[in-house]
């Protein structure tokens, strides 16, 4: 039962999936607060969140920035439904949430000033293609902000227990981003995981 519950992290489903999603809304908050404090969200920005989970971060940003427009995707239908409920006051006005994956984003080229993704990249089927898609939908000089709490592939604590989870090193992620065309890639802390957290900011 314990391992089956852990497997819900990749694509939450059903009752246990909703339990995991609620936990994500709480447990991931320190990570996205820390990362988002490092970027400016300007007036009339359009933001895309890839792997939106329960949608709490989206709602906090929409509450805080009166002109922000947000799109979001998640591979889990359960997460999409939960996130839509969390953001129901903004849906159809300043927010759209759809089921989808990083490797095939349903948006036009150069649509967003900012793309965010937190604790999601481990479960992408093709990381290079996901980064290429994010590069495509970002506007010139747009930013990708990625937050992670696992960045040591040799540590199998979670990846050995969660089906479909792959942990990438900071250097691997940097190389993939460069291959996709990102010009400036900043990692904090540089090349290491500090207190279990890594923030990567890449500029198109």
For residue 43, the number of C-alpha atoms closer than 13 Å in the C-beta half-sphere is 0
DSSP state of 37: T
DSSP state of 75: S
pTM of the model: 0.91
- In the block, tokens 């933001």 appear at 47
CA 122 to chain centre: 10
Report how far residue 20's alpha carbon sits from residue 27's, in angstroms, rounded to the nearest whole number.
10
Q: So what's the pLDDT on residue 3?
A: 44
First to last CA, the chain: 43
CATH superfamily, region 2-203: Vaccinia Virus protein VP39 (3.40.50.150)
Q: Where are the alpha helices (DSSP H) in 10-101?
A: 14-27, 29-36, 56-64, 77-86
pLDDT tens, residue by residue, 12-51:
667 766 878 888 888 899 999 999 999 999 999 999 999 9
pLDDT tens, residue by residue, 147-194:
999 888 888 877 766 778 899 999 999 999 999 999 899 998 755 666
Contact residues for 1 (Cβ-Cβ < 8 A; gap 6+): none
């Amino acid at each position: 039962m314990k391992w089956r519950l852990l497997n819900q992290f990749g694509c939450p489903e059903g009752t246990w999936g909703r339990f995991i999603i609620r936990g994500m809304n709480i447990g991931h908050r320190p990570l996205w607060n820390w990362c988002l404090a490092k970027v400016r969200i300007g007036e009339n920005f359009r933001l895309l969140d890839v792997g939106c989970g329960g949608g709490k971060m989206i709602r906090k940003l929409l509450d805080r920035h009166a002109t922000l427009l947000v799109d979001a995707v998640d591979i889990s239908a359960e997460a999409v439904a939960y996130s839509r409920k969390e953001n129901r006051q903004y849906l159809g006005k300043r927010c759209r949430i759809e089921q989808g994956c990083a490797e095939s984003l349903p948006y036009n080229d150069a649509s967003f000033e900012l793309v965010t993704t937190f604790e999601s990249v481990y479960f992408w089927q093709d990381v290079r293609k996901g980064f290429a898609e994010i590069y495509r939908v970002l506007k010139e000089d747009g930013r990708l902000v990625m937050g992670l709490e696992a960045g040591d592939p040799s540590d199998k604590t979670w990846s050995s227990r969660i089906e479909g989870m792959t942990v990438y090193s900071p250097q691997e992620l940097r190389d993939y981003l460069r291959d996709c065309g990102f010009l400036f890639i900043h990692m904090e802390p540089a090349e290491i995981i500090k207190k279990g957290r890594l923030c990567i900011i890449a500029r198109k």
